[in-house]
Chains A and B, each alone.
Chain A
Amino acid sequence: MNLKAGYFIRRVLLLIPLLVGLSILTFSISRVVPGDPVGLAAGPQATPEIKAALRKEFGLDQSLPVQYYKYVSGLFKGDWGQSLYSRRDVADDLRAFFPATLELTLAAVFIAAVLGTILGVFAALYQNRIPDHLSRIIVLFFVSFPQFWLAMIFQLIFGLMLDWFPISKRLDVLTPPPERITGMYTVDSLLRGDLETFGASVKHLFIPALVLSFGALASITRITRANMLEALDKDFVKMERAVGLPEKLVIGKYVLRTVFIATLTVISLEFGWLMAGAVLVETIFDWPGLGLYIVESSLRLDFQPIMGITIIYGIVFSTVNIVTDLLYGLLDPRIRYE
C-alpha cells in the first residue's frame, strides 16, 4: 500500500515539471505571433497613443522573461491574464466554459464506452463471423467522417428534419440553467432535484455527444474485442465452460469484468482525443465550451485565452491519466507499481 501511495505521489509531483514545460511551450508559441497583439485590444480607430497605453497596461512593453514570470506567478494566484479582445479575465471564461466541455466529453466517453463494449463483445463472441465483420465496418465507417461534417448532417437530420432534438446550445434560452454546483447542467439539475431541467439538458446533450463519441468507438471496440478473446482463452474460463456453467453466466460474471478493466486504459486515453474533438463539435452546436473559445481566440490571435486553454487541457489530460492508473489498481489488485 505504501508503495502504491508513493507511486502516486511521484506521479502527481511529476505534473509540476510537465506543467512548467507546457506553460513555456504555450508562452513561446504566443510570442511567435508576428502581428501586434495590441492592435486587437485597441479597436478599429486606435491612435498610436492609445496603443502605447494598452501595451503598457498589458505589460507587453516588458522583456519576455519578465512577462513569463508575471504570467506564471499570476497562474498560481488565479490570475490567468486577460483576453486582449474581450478584456475579460481568462480565469472567469475558463470557469464558465470548462464544465460545458467536460460534460460533453464525459457524455461522449460514456456513449463510446457503452457502444464500444457492446460491439466489441459481439465481435469477439462471433469471431470471424458476420457480426464480427459488421462491427468492424461500422466503427471504421463512423470514425472516418470529419466530425464537424457529421455534426452538420446529424443536426440537419435529427434537429431540423425529424425535430427530435434541439439544434444547438445546452438548454432552451428560456430555461434558466440550474444553480451552479459543478457547472455541468445534467449533474447540477439532478443534484438540485430538477428533473425537468435535467431532461432538457440531456436532450440538448445527446446529439453532440453521440457525434463526438464516434471518434473513440473504433479503438474501444477493437481493444474490447481483443481483450475479450484473450479472456475467453484463459484456462479458468475454458474450465467453467467445460464444467457446463451456462454461457451467459460465464461471460457475464467472469469475462466482462476482466475485459472492462483492461479496456479502462483505452477509454481514458480516448478521453483526451474526445476533448479535442469537442473543439469541432462545439462550433457546430453553438456549445459554449472551451472548443468554441479556442477557435474564436485563435482566429483573433488572442493568445492569453489560448495559453489558458492549453494549460487546462494539460492539467485535465494528465489528471485523467493518473486517475485511470489509480482506478486500474483498485479494480485489479494484481497490478503492482514500480
Chain B
Amino acid sequence: MSKKQSRSLSSARNQLRWEGLQRGIYRFRNNALSMVGLAILSLVLVVAIIAPFVVPYPEDATGATHVMERLQPPSKAHFFGTDKVGRDIFSRVLMGTGLALQVGTTIILMAATIGITLGSIAGYFGRRVDDLIMRITDIFLAVPALVLAIAVTAALGKGITNVMIGISLVWWPGFARLTRSLVISLKEEAFVEAANGIGATHFRILFRHILPNAVSPIIVKMSTDFGFAVLTAAALGFIGLGAQPPTPEWGAMINDGRAYFPSEWWVAVFPGLAIFLVVFSWNLLGDGIRDVLDPRSRR
C-alpha cells in the first residue's frame, strides 16, 4: 500500500463517517424526546443570554438588598417571590442560568481534556506508561466523585472556580478509561497504516488517525455527563462550598431557602426547578445523541 492508497482509504472512511452522521441526524430528528430536550435547552440558552436585559431587577443579582421586601410570596411584582434580603428570586434564577451552563461546560471540557490526553497516552504507548496512568485512574475511581470533590474543594477553599477545578479533578478518570479502551482497539489498525506511511509521528497517528474515530463515544459521554456535572456543582453549592455571594448560584440559593422551608417554600423551590429543567433537557438530548452515535444502545 502506498501513501496515496492509505490516504484514499482514510478518506473512504471519512465518507462512511459522514454518511453515518447523516443517518444519525435523521434518527435524531425523528426522536421526539430529544427534540423536546433540544427545544428546552435552546430556550435556556436564550434566557442565559438575554437575562441581564430582560429581568425586572437585574441589580438584585449583583448586590442590591431591600429590607422592606424580605420573604414575599410569589406575586405579580415578584413572580418567584423574594429571599431573605428582599431580592427578586425570578431575576436571580434567570441571571444564574448563564453561570450554571458555564460551570457545567467548563467542568466537562476540563475533565475531557485531561482524561482524553492521559487516556490516549496510556492506550497508545501501553506498557509502563499505561500501567502508571491506569493505577492513578483507579485510585480516583475508587472513591465516588462527589466525596472526593467535596474534599478537594474544601481544601482549595470555597468559590465557584474552586468548585469547577475540584469537580474536574475528580471527573477525568472516566474519560481516561474510555479513551484508553478506544485507542487500544483502534491502535492496531492505525499502526498498519503508519508502518506504510512515511514519517508519520506518534502525534500525527494519534490525532489524525486514531482520535477522530474515537470521537463518537466520547461525545456521548460528554453529553450524558453534562447533567451530572451541573448537579454535582449544585450539590457543592448546596453544601456551602459554592459561589460567593451575591452571585446567583442555584445550589447556594436552595441552601439559602432551606432555613425557610417549607413556610417560605418559594426560596428553595424555584432554583431547584431551574436546575431540573437544565439537567432534564440535557438528559433528553443526551439520550438522543446516544441513540445517534451509539446505535447499539437502542434498537
Contacts and interface: CB of A to CB of B under 8 A. Distances in A.
Is B a genuine binding partner of A? yes
Interface of A: 17-18, 21-22, 25-26, 29-30, 32-34, 127, 133, 136-137, 140-141, 143-149, 152-153, 156, 160, 218, 222, 226, 229, 272-273, 275-277, 279-280, 283, 294-295, 298-299, 301, 303, 306, 309-310, 313-314, 317-318
B94 interface: no
26 contacts: A18-B135, A18-B138, A21-B136, A22-B139, A25-B139, A133-B33, A136-B33, A136-B287, A137-B33, A140-B283, A140-B284, A140-B287, A145-B279, A148-B235, A148-B254, A152-B254, A152-B258, A152-B261, A229-B299, A277-B146, A294-B147, A295-B150, A295-B239, A298-B150, A298-B239, A303-B155
A283 B283 CA distance: 26
> Which 9 pairs of residues, A with B, have the shortest CB-CB distance?
A276-B144, A149-B272, A144-B280, A298-B154, A21-B139, A276-B146, A144-B279, A314-B142, A32-B155
A141 B240 CA distance: 26
Given A18-B138, A152-B261, A314-B142, A294 B33 contact: no
Given A144-B227, A144-B283, A314 B154 contact: no
B143 interface: yes
B184 interface: no
Nearest to B32: A133
A297 B91 CA distance: 34
Contacts, number: 135
Interface residues of B, number: 48
Nearest to A31: B155
Contacts of B190: none
Given A133-B33, A294-B150, A298-B150, A313 B144 contact: yes
A199 B269 CA distance: 32
Nearest to B299: A229
Given A21-B136, A226-B297, A314-B142, A146 B33 contact: no
Question: Dominant SS at the A interface?
Answer: helix
A314 B143 contact: yes
B155 A148 contact: no
Question: Dominant SS at the B interface?
Answer: helix
A156 B262 contact: yes
A301 B156 CA distance: 10
A141 B275 contact: no
Contacts of B272: 145-146, 149, 152-153
Contact of B235 (A136, A143, A280): A280
Contacts of B231: 146-147
Given A146-B254, A299-B240, A317 B154 contact: no
Given A141-B280, A146-B231, A279-B147, A160 B262 contact: yes
Contacts of B269: 153
B138 to A, nearest CB: 6
B280 A317 contact: no
A18 B139 contact: yes
B58 interface: no
Contacts of A280: 146, 235, 238-239
Nearest to A14: B138
